[in-house]
Structure 1
Amino acid sequence: MTESNETGIDHSHDDGRDESRGGDPDVPVWEQRFRAPRVSLPDWAEEAPDRSLFVSNATGTYELYAWDRASGMQRQVTDRPNGTTDGTLSPDGESVWWFSDTDGDEFGVWMRQPFEGGADEPAVPGLDASYPAGLALGRDGTVVVGRSTDEDGSTVHLLRPGRPEPVEIYRHRESAGVGDLSHDASLIAVEHTEHGDSMHASLRVLRAEDGSTMAELDDTKGGTAELGLSVLGFAPLPGDTRLLVGHQRRGRWEPMLWDVATGTETDLALELPGDVSAEWYPDGSGLLIVHGYEARSELWRYEIGTGALVKVDTPAGTVSGATARPDGSVEYMWSSAARPAVLRSTAGGVVLDPPGPKAPESVPVEDVWVEGPGGRIHALVQRPATGEGPFPTVFEIHGGPAWHDSDAFAAGPAAWVDHGFAVVRVNYRGSTGYGREWTDALKHRVGLIELEDVAAVRTWAVDSGLADPERLVLAGGSWGGYLTLLGLGTQPDSWSLGLAAVPVADYVTAYNDEMEALKALDRTLLGGSPEEVPERFEASSPLTYVDAVKAPVYISAGVNDPRCPIRQVENYVDRLAARGAVHEVYRYDAGHGSLVVDERIKQLRLELDFALRHLGTPAEGN
Structure 2
Amino acid sequence: MTQQTEPTGSDPADALPNWEKRFRAPRTGLPDWAEDAPDRALFVSNATGTFELYAWDRATGGQRQVTDRPNGTTDGVLTPDGEWIWWFSDTDGDEFGVWMRQPFGGGDDEPATPGLAAAYPAGLALGRDGGAVVGRSTDEEGSTLHVVRPGAEPVEIYRHAESAGVGDLSHDGGLVAVEHTEHGDAMHSALRVVRPDGTTVAELDDSAGGTRELGLTVLGFAPVAGDSRLLVGHQRRGRWEPMIWDPLTGETTDLAIDLPGDVGAEWYPDGSALLVVHSHQARSEMWRYETATGDLVRVPTPDGSVSGATARPDGTVEYLWSSAALPPQVRSTTGEVVLDPPGMKAPPSVPVEDAWVEGPGGTVHALVQRPAGEGPFPTVFDVHGGPTWHDSDAFASQPAAWVDHGFAVVRVNYRGSTGYGRAWTDALKHRVGLIELEDVAAVRDWAVSSGLADPERLVLAGGSWGGYLTLLGLGTQPDAWAVGLAAVPVADYVTAYQDEMEALKSLDRTLLGGTPEEVPERYAASSPLTYVDRVRAPVYISAGVNDPRCPIRQVENYVERLAGRDHPHEVYRYDAGHGSLVVEERIKQLRLEIEFATRHLGTPTHLGTPTDQPGPAGQPGPTGR
Contact 1:23 1:358 in 2 (8 A): no
How many aligned positions are there? 606
- In the alignment, which residue of structure 1 is the partner of 2:367? 380
1:465-498 alpha-carbon deviations (Å, 9 max, x no partner): 0000000000000000000000000000000000
Distance verdict in 2 for CA 1:521–1:21, change over 3 Å = farther
User: Following the alignment from structure 1 to structure 2, what is the Cα–Cα distance between the partners of residues 461 and 223?
Assistant: 38
2:485 matched to which residue of 1?
499
Q: In structure 2, which of residues 207, 224, 228 is the aligned counterpart of residue 241 of structure 1?
A: 228
The letter for the 2-side match of 1:88 is V
State the match for 2:408 in structure 1.
Answer: 422
Q: Corresponding residue for 2:470?
A: 484
Q: Is 1:33 aligned with 2:26?
A: no
How does 1:151-300 map onto structure 2 within 5 Å? 151-161=140-150, 163-208=151-196, 210-300=197-287
Name the CA distance, whole Å, in 2 between partners of 1:441 and 1:533.
18
Tell me the equivalent position of 1:406: 392
Task: Check conservation: 2:5, 2:15, Cα contact below 8 A.
Answer: no
Kept after mapping to 2: 8 A contact 1:430/1:438? yes
Q: Provide the aligned C-alpha RMSD in A.
A: 1.2
Aligned twin of 2:418 = 432
Distance in 2, Cα, partners of 1:191 & 1:69: 34
Alpha-carbon offset, residue 23 of structure 1:
7.7
Deviation at 1:263, TM superposition (A): 0.4
- Map of 1:541 onto structure 2: 527
1:7-86 equivalence runs, <5 A: 13-19=2-8, 24-86=13-75
8 Å contact from structure 2 (residues 183, 209) kept in 1: no
**TM-score normalised over the length of structure 2:** 0.96
By how many angstroms is 1:348 displaced? Answer: 2.3
**Counterpart check, 1:133 vs 2:122:** yes
Q: Give 5+ residue unaligned stretches, structure 2.
A: 607-625
Q: Return the alpha-carbon distance in structure 2 between the equivalents of residues 337 and 558 of structure 1.
A: 28
Q: Is the 8 A contact 1:124 1:165 kept in 2?
A: no
Q: Which amino acid aligns with 1:84?
A: T
1:392 match? 378
Q: Per the alignment, do residues 465 and 618 of structure 1 end up closer, same or farther by CA in structure 2, a change over 3 Å counting? A: farther
Which deviates more, 369-378 or 213-222? Answer: 213-222
Is the alpha carbon distance of 1:121 and 1:259 closer, same or farther for their aligned partners in structure 2, counting shifts above 3 Å?
same
Q: Which amino acid aligns with 1:184?
A: D
Structure 1 residue 357: Cα displacement: 1.2
- C-alpha change, 1:462 and 1:141, in structure 2 (3 Å) is same
1:427-465 per-position Cα deviation (integer Å, ceiling 9, x unaligned):
000000000000000110000000000000000000000
Q: CA shift at 1:24, angstroms?
A: 1.8
The alpha-carbon distance between structure 1 residues 519 and 18, as it changes in their structure 2 partners (threshold 3 A), is farther
Do 1:13 and 1:617's aligned partners in 2 also have CA atoms closer than 8 Å?
A: no
- The separation in 2 between residues aligned to 1:546 and 1:18, in whole angstroms, is 46
Residues 151, 596 of structure 1: alpha-carbon distance in 2 compared, 3 angstrom cutoff: same
Mapping of 1:493-532 within 5 angstroms? 493-532=479-518
Q: Residues 22 and 404 from structure 1, CA distance in 2 versus in 1: closer, same or farther, beyond 3 angstroms? A: farther
Q: In the alignment, residue 527 of structure 2 is paired with which amino acid?
A: S
Q: Is the 8 A contact 2:463 2:486 kept in 1?
A: yes
Other-structure match for 1:468:
454
1:9-57 deviations in whole A, cap 9, x for unaligned?
xxx5222344499882321110000000000000000010000000000
How far off is 1:239 after superposition? 1.3
Partner secondary structure for residue 568 of structure 1: helix
* Cα distance per residue 1:238-261 (max 9 Å; x no partner): 111100000000000000000111
Q: d(CA) in 1 for partners of 2:130 and 2:301?
A: 37
Using the TM superposition, give the Cα deviation of residue 347 of structure 1 relative to its aligned residue in structure 2, in angstroms: 1.8
Instruction: Report the counterpart of residue 319 of structure 1 in structure 2.
Output: 306
Name structure 1 gaps, 5 residues minimum. 1-11
- The answer to whether structure 1 residue 342 and structure 2 residue 329 are counterparts is yes
Aligned equivalents of 2:582, 2:195: Cα separation in 1: 42
Paired residue type of 1:603: Q
Once the two structures are superposed, residues 558-592 of structure 1 have per-residue CA deviations (whole angstroms, 9 ceiling, x without a partner) of 01000000000000000000000000000011000
| Partners of 1:69 and 1:619 in 2: CA distance | 46
> In the TM superposition, what is the alpha-carbon distance from 1:619 to its structure 2 partner?
8.0
Q: Which amino acid aligns with 1:328?
A: G
Instruction: Indicate the percent of aligned positions where both proteins have the same amino acid.
Output: 80
8 A Cα contact 1:398 1:476, kept in partner? yes
Q: Does 1:575 align with 2:564?
A: no
Please tell me whether the aligned partners of residues 391 and 618 of structure 1 are also in contact (alpha carbons under 8 angstroms): no
Q: Does 1:333 align with 2:320?
A: yes
Question: Which whole-Å CA distance do the structure 2 matches of 1:125 and 1:116 have between them?
Answer: 22
Shift >6 Å, 4+ stretches: 20-23
Q: Which residue of 1 aligns with 2:542?
A: 556
Paired letter, 1:323: T
